[in-house]
Amino acid sequence: MSSVPASFSAFVAQKDGDTVTREVRQLSVDDLGDGDAIVKVTWSGINYKDGLATMPKGKVARIDPIIPGVDLAGVIVEPGASGLAEGSEVIVHGYDLGVAHHGGFSEYARVPSEWLVPLPQGLSAKQAMSIGTAGFTAALSVHALEKHGLTPGTGPVLVTGATGGVGSVAVGILAERGYEVAASTGKPDAEGFLKELGATEIVSRDETSGPGKPLERERWAGAVDCVGASTLPYILRTLKYGGAVAASGNTGGIGLEATVFPFILRAVALLGIDSVAMPIEQRRDVWQRIATDLRPRGIDGIGTREISLSELPSALDAVLAGANTGRTLVRL
Ligand SMILES: NC(=O)c1ccc[n+]([C@@H]2O[C@H](COP(=O)([O-])OP(=O)(O)OC[C@H]3O[C@@H](n4cnc5c(N)ncnc54)[C@H](OP(=O)(O)O)[C@@H]3O)[C@@H](O)[C@H]2O)c1
């Protein structure tokens, strides 16, 4: 533990009545979460969940105070029982990180060694955090759609919330794998960003979140949805016969009001995606694939902004307001 300095900087969110104080504090190793491994964090990134973890009624943080940050990449200082060498580069995300265990918005993190994912060859720590939990979820979504039978050439694939973390990586992965990608966005000025990642068509968010008939014109061979609410029912009623949607998020809301017609008349499938509780061996395998065959196009363009710990409050507000484009990286 000697290589951890006596004090280091961490961003802390602490409830104070109906508000949450968010500030950079000087902490010591004793303030960190439990675990047998210590990582010197080099990069983290912002996810929607981090915004919720710092809201008074976000219902995400299960400890108080909390160092948020559901993603981190860095260098091992104490390998614990991992079998990895001191100085090896690792990724940590999922499980309790940033919600019930102190997370990545800190110069040092202590975690159970069974949470460590060795950084795959071909990915830098910064690129891994450009992907982060959001991009990992996009990779899981593409994997699930292909397992269901989606292949390039079966028709356009719709990505909703396309400028966000999950959406932008999904656009890049699908484009690189040869799919025709339609990107749904509420940001008309993001067309250039999305086309750079490989989208061939831009669809307005109004179109993908409005009311409609129980079944409409068959349009999409598949879809990656992180919005939920009125967007998921739109997708279900416009999927082609036998198509599928991978649903991972609730940026638009948690409700789901749909009819059974898409399921019983068009055999469409609703595939649930979870990145949090996935067993570590599978998590390590998916990261290997992200470095190789699920690598998104334009990987270095996904991290659109780099910030320091002290800039987190405004960046977290932006992600909660849906104003995010690409991934915001936190440089430690
Ligand atoms: N299941 C899992 O394991 C898992 C893992 C990671 C994330 N998630 C969930 O996935 C969702 C997205 O996460 P993220 O990190 O990608 O967030 P993000 O970076 O903020 O992206 C979300 C995007 O959704 C769109 N959006 C925002 N507000 C909206 C609204 N009111 N209605 C419709 N669209 C809206 C925006 O894109 P446009 O402006 O381009 O439309 C925004 O950029 C969140 O709900 C998150 O909790 C789930």
State how far the Cα of 8 lies from the Cα of 28, in Å rounded to an integer.
Answer: 6
261 C-beta neighbours (distance < 10 Å), count: 14
Neighbours of 76 (CB within 10 A): 21
| Lining residues, ligand 1, CB within 6 Å | 47-49, 133-134, 137, 161-167, 185-187, 205, 209, 226-227, 248-252, 273-276, 319, 322, 324
Closest ligand 1 atom to 133 CA: 6
The 10s digit of each residue's pLDDT in 122-167 is 999 999 999 999 999 999 999 999 999 999 999 999 999 999 999 9
d(CA 54, CA 255): 22
pLDDT level of residue 3 (50, 70, 90 thresholds): confident
Q: Which residue has the higher pLDDT, 59 or 47?
A: 47
Instruction: Look at ligand 1, atom 43, and give the residue with the nearest C-alpha.
Output: 164
Choose which residue among 251, 254, 316, 325 to substitute to test ligand 1 binding: the one with the highest number of ligand atoms within 8 A of its C-beta.
251
Q: Does the pLDDT value for residue 235 go beyond 60?
A: yes
Q: ω before 156 within 30° of 0 (cis)?
A: no
Distance from first CA to last CA of the chain, Å, rounded?
Answer: 19
Q: Hunting for tokens 């809201």 — which residue is that?
A: 55
Largest CA distance in the chain: 65
Q: What is the mean pLDDT of residues 253-257?
A: 94
Mean pLDDT of 55-69: 93
pLDDT tier at 170 (50, 70, 90 boundaries)?
very high
Our CA angle for 95, 61, 103, nearest 5°, is 55
Residue nearest to ligand 1 atom 22, measured at CA? 164
Q: Whose CA is nearest to atom 6 of ligand 1?
A: 134
Single out the residue of 115, 92, 99 nearest to residue 51, CA to CA: 99
Give nearest CA residue, ligand 1 atom 2: 274
Helix (H, G, I), strand (E, B) or coil at 91: strand
Atom of ligand 1 nearest to the CA of 165: 16
The pick from 166, 171, 194, 271 for probing ligand 1's pocket by mutation, whose C-beta has the most ligand atoms within 8 angstroms, reads 166
13-17 mean pLDDT:
92
DSSP structure class, residue 294:
T
What's the burial of 64, exposed, middle or buried (CB within 10 Å: 0-12/13-18/19+)? Answer: exposed
**Residue whose CA is closest, atom 19 of ligand 1?**
164
How are beta strands 239-247 and 220-225 bridged, if at all?
A: parallel
User: Would you state the pLDDT for residue 1?
Assistant: 47
Q: How many CA atoms lie within 13 A of 139 on its CB side?
A: 25
Distances from the Cα of 275 to the Cα of 44, 88, 98, 137, 269, angstroms: 17, 24, 14, 6, 19
Query: Between residues 131 and 17, which one has the greater pLDDT?
Result: 131
Q: Indicate the pTM of the whole model.
A: 0.96
As a whole-number percent, the residues of the chain with pLDDT over 70 amount to: 99
Residue 2 has pLDDT above 60, yes or no: no
- The band of 169, judged by pLDDT with boundaries at 50, 70 and 90, is very high
